[in-house]
Amino acid sequence: MKKRTIVAAALCLYAALLAAVWHVGTFRARAMTEALLDYAVSDIRLTMDGAIDTMLEHVAVTCIRRFGRADRYAREEVDTVAHLFDIDELCIVDRAGIVIASNDPDSLGVDMNRKEVTRPFAALTNGTTKVVAQPFRRHAYSKSRRKYLGVPFPDGDGYVQVGLDEARMPKMINAQLAFLFDVEMGETVCYLCADMNTGALVSSLSVDGETSTLDEIGFDASRAPDSDETFEQTLFGDKAFCRSYVFGGHRFIMVVPKAEFYGTRDVLMVVMTILLALVLGAFVVLLVRISNDAKRIKAFYAAEDAARAKDMEIAKTIQTSALPAPLAANPCFRLAASMTPAREVGGDFYDFFMLDPTHLAFLVADVSGKGITAALYMMTAKTVIKDALLETRDIAAAFTEANKELCRNNSANMFLTVWGGVLDLETGGVAFVNAGHNPPVKIGERVEWLADKSGPVLAFMDGVKYKSRLTHLVPGDTLFLYTDGVTEAMDGKHELFGEERLATTLSAVTSSSPDTVCGVVRVAVAAFAAGAPAADDLTVLAVKYVRRSDRFVRSFPPTQEGVCQASAYLDECLKEQPPDVQASLHVILDEIASNIVKHSGASGFEVDVEFTEDPAGVRLVFADDGVPYDPLAHTDPDTKLPAAERPIGGLGIMMVKKMADSISYERARNRNFLTVFKMAERVKGRSIS
Amino acid sequence: MTIDKKLENGTWMFAVAGRLDTNTAPELEAELKLDGAKEVVFDFGGLEYISSAGLRVLMTAHKAMAAAGGGVKVLRPNAMVRGVFEITGLSSVFVVEP
């Protein structure tokens, strides 16, 4: 989330909340004002009504006492009493409800029970009702509204009804006002009372005892409804809510100053403004901080991911670039290998190389850990093992050496499992060492695991002495090496591919080429995993022993005796060859071997005799560890010179060059390799042991 | 290698059979006591092959004979040996028959 968005959202929320508080505060204040005004109106109404009722009842009771019983009294008498008590109407009603005496001639003889409006008074004759009062209402014979109240004579023998015109109320009210305002004034509500005709204020509260009028205090009568409706006025310069109650020629006004009443809301608003600002401010700060943190964390992880991806890319490059290139085609064996890196590169690798023309070294390994560390360690391990093998030419000694070396350079505490073997192409023997690795499968007539273990994992424990085991392959047998990427491949249900499935898979390809064997296993594992991401590298290597080697390698001492032995060895190898081929090859051997013995300072030399098919012929390879010497780099001696001037040296090499069909020199692994090829008919079916 | 030598009318006759290479050349060289001879004849009818070590012996003999006004003659070389002489240009130095 962006900072700007957060701040904007918070401001909106702030405004909305304040508006809500304002509205709730206003609504509440209005509701309370209304309630207060309602109360005030009913209060004044009850007070006034009660006061008049009390007065009229007092008058009526006095009349009852005065008259003693319901009778036909003369009009003068009734007039006198009415005048005395200052009431507008006085009637004496008999038990039957007939007005039998009255100061009002219109009322005399009226049947009270006949009219709906007067019928309630009949209750006074039942002996239990003490008083019946009616509110002011329009009266048939009077311009003013009139109020009636009746009190019975003893024993329900008729009753006295007194009536009072509203127009006569001011007097009454004046008598009541002092009491009303003294006792009933609230704190916030004030009452005003004014004469309807003159507008003169009769209440003395707000004007310091001096009589003034409604106009003077700012009251606008045109905007003052008589009904129970709240209205606004500006009184004494302040806005106020008002309710008016018109009664007895007077207007009673209940006033609630706006400022006073909205005070609560305004205080609430101030408090909420500050409080909400604080809360929302804190909230915004928190959100911004979280948002910043989230951004930082996201950026951090993005960088981390990119770095990891790059690491993986590098690791993959290292891992795949370290794998050996295919060997030159060899009729004695076929080899296929592949390594499929997992998403997170592991440390699998394989290696294969010729130790000499008749010995093939091959191995499969799995370095602990993943990623670039594993890849780098794998590089080291591969080099160390290969160097050790080339140095010692013995698989067990090589493992022992390599372990020593790897333990020495192992600050990362890595280790690796390795299965390595050396196949003797002449015999089919495989000397192997298993350093904690999955045993390989020998595919011959049966499919079987080479379960022998011969030592702990490499780079784990210094000073381990590995011992080699031996197995034999007959032509047609295949050794299948793999890493746990094969057997521990998982399907969607977390089931492992396992050794049984591997055995079944391999059973179907017992006579196939190594390429097919590796391919079939890869396909089977991929089909099994069915899209589940590979957790580990998948490495397979298959080597098939095709036929016994036609190469024969021997080592000889760097002496004339060595040359003699080499010659004898060549005889043995060539005995089936035609004499001219034999003679040529012997001359070649003699020239080169004697050269090595005389000039190279080598500790010995090897002669490798190989019969080739296409083109048919014999290939001689001379190897020595002497000083680098490329005989082909020298110019041939001039054979046209007179015999006495000829240098003898160089003649031999020239002869070799002329006699051979092809010749090449290579300096590798601190050794000189001179390969000489002589065409010849291949003699079938020969064997040498 | 076998060496059969005899002196006839101031000419040394060496019948060499087998192989003449670094291994055997010293033997032949040791037999080359050529005092008083003007010509050396090598009968290579029984020789399988000759390497440069053998040629060196022949060259040594040739130098000695040339000093005495004589030379070296090679008789009945096989195809391979004849080839070596041709390759090395020695066929023009020695008399090779047939």
Percent of residues, chain A, with pLDDT higher than 90: 22
Please report the sign of the dihedral spanned by the C-alpha atoms of residue A148, residue A154, residue A158, residue A160.
Answer: negative
Contact A646 B48 (CB under 8 A): no
Q: Which amino acid is at A612?
A: T
What is the domain range of residue B51? Answer: 2-97
Q: Which of B80, B82, B92 to mutate to test the interface with A (most CBs of A within 10 A)?
A: B80
The reply to whether B23 touches chain A by the CB within 8 Å rule is yes
Structure-token pair, residue A343: 């998403």
Its ipTM equals: 0.91
Question: Region B10-35: what's the mean pLDDT?
Answer: 88
Mean pLDDT for all residues in chain A: 83
Q: Quote the minimal CA–CA distance from B26 to chain A in Å.
A: 11
Confidence of residue A182 (pLDDT cuts 50, 70, 90): very low
User: Of A57-61, A199-203, A233-237, where does mean pLDDT reach its minimum?
Assistant: A199-203
Structural class in CATH, domain A322-545: alpha beta
The reply to whether A644 touches chain B by the CB within 8 Å rule is yes
Contact B87 A658 (CB under 8 A): yes
Look at residue A686 in the predicted model and tell me its pLDDT. Answer: 42
The reply to whether B50 touches chain A by the CB within 8 Å rule is yes
How do strand A478-482 and strand A441-443 relate by DSSP bridges?
A: antiparallel
Confidence of residue A227 (pLDDT cuts 50, 70, 90): low
CATH 3.30.565.10 residue ranges of chain A are: 551-679
Structure-token pair, residue A180: 């009303």
Check if the beta carbon of residue B45 is closer than 8 Å to that of residue B96.
Answer: no
Query: Distance between CA B72 and CA B65 in Å, rounded?
Result: 7
Question: Region A12-29: what's the mean pLDDT?
Answer: 90
CATH 3.60.40.10 residue ranges of chain A are: 322-545
| Comparison of pLDDT for A648 and A11, the residue scoring more | A11
The total number of residues shown for chain A amounts to 689
Question: Region A325-332: what's the mean pLDDT?
Answer: 84
Q: What is the DSSP letter of A533?
A: P
| Comparison of pLDDT for A23 and A493, the residue scoring more | A23
Contact B87 A654 (CB under 8 A): yes
CATH fold of the domain at A551-679: Heat Shock Protein 90 (3.30.565)
Query: Distance between CA A475 and CA A389 in Å, rounded?
Result: 25
Q: Which residues of A touch B56 (CB under 8 A)?
A: 648
Per the structure, how many domains does chain B have?
A: 1
Inform me whether the pLDDT recorded for A442 exceeds 50.
Answer: yes
Q: Which of B19, B27, B51 to mutate to test the interface with A (most CBs of A within 10 A)?
A: B51
Confidence of residue A480 (pLDDT cuts 50, 70, 90): very high
Query: Distance between CA A416 and CA A434 in Å, rounded?
Result: 11
Look at residue A205 in the predicted model and tell me its pLDDT. Answer: 46
Nearest to A645 by CA among B25, B31, B7, B63: B63
Look at residue B43 in the predicted model and tell me its pLDDT. Answer: 93
Q: What is the DSSP letter of A323?
A: S
Look at residue A16 in the predicted model and tell me its pLDDT. Answer: 93
Contact A658 B48 (CB under 8 A): no
Nearest Cβ partner for B53 among A590, A654, A659: A590
CATH 3.30.450.20 residue ranges of chain A are: 39-277
Contact B51 A646 (CB under 8 A): no
Nearest to A347 by CA among A377, A311, A323, A325: A377
Q: What is the pLDDT of residues A414-429, one digit of tens each?
A: 889 999 999 998 888 9
Q: What is the pLDDT of residues A32-70, one digit of tens each?
A: 888 888 887 777 777 777 778 888 888 888 888 888 888
Nearest to A162 by CA among A105, A104, A215: A104
Look at residue A186 in the predicted model and tell me its pLDDT. Answer: 47
- Residue A459 sits at φ, ψ, to 5 deg, of 70, 15
Query: Distance between CA A125 and CA A151 in Å, rounded?
Result: 10
User: Of A372-386, A410-424, A630-644, where does mean pLDDT reach its minimum?
Assistant: A630-644
| Comparison of pLDDT for B73 and A683, the residue scoring more | B73
Confidence of residue A652 (pLDDT cuts 50, 70, 90): confident
Query: Distance between CA A549 and CA A201 in Å, rounded?
Result: 139
Q: Which residues of A touch B24 (CB under 8 A)?
A: none
CATH number at residue B92: 3.30.750.24
Question: Region A247-255: what's the mean pLDDT?
Answer: 77
Question: 3-state DSSP call for residue B34?
Answer: coil
Residues 580-639 of A with CB under 8 A from B: 580, 582-584, 586-587, 590-591, 593-594, 639
Q: How many helices and strands in chain A, by DSSP H and E?
A: 13, 25
Residues 658-677 of A with CB under 8 A from B: 658-659
Check if the beta carbon of residue A64 is closer than 8 Å to that of residue A264.
Answer: no
Total-model pTM: 0.45
- To 10 degrees, what angle do helices A579-595 and A651-659 make? 140
Look at residue A684 in the predicted model and tell me its pLDDT. Answer: 39
Tokens 């290696």, located at residue: A351
User: Of A240-254, A315-329, A643-657, where does mean pLDDT reach its minimum?
Assistant: A643-657
Look at residue A215 in the predicted model and tell me its pLDDT. Answer: 79
Inform me whether the pLDDT recorded for A648 exceeds 80.
Answer: no
Q: Which residues of A touch B71 (CB under 8 A)?
A: none
Superfamily of the domain at A39-277: PAS domain (3.30.450.20)
Confidence of residue A688 (pLDDT cuts 50, 70, 90): very low
Strand partners of residue A540: A338, A482
Q: Which of B1, B44, B49, B78 to mutate to test the interface with A (most CBs of A within 10 A)?
A: B49
Inform me whether the pLDDT recorded for A188 exceeds 70.
Answer: no
Nearest to A481 by CA among A446, A518, A515, A445: A518
- Chain A residue with CA closest to B47: the answer is A583
Inform me whether the pLDDT recorded for A597 exceeds 80.
Answer: yes
Look at residue B16 in the predicted model and tell me its pLDDT. Answer: 93
Contact B22 A563 (CB under 8 A): yes
Percent of residues, chain A, with pLDDT higher than 70: 90
Inform me whether the pLDDT recorded for A220 exceeds 50.
Answer: yes
Q: Which amino acid is at A601?
A: G
Contact A594 B53 (CB under 8 A): yes
Query: Distance between CA A547 and CA A550 in Å, rounded?
Result: 9
Inform me whether the pLDDT recorded for A413 exceeds 90.
Answer: no
Query: Distance between CA B40 and CA A335 in Å, rounded?
Result: 60
Question: Region A198-211: what's the mean pLDDT?
Answer: 59
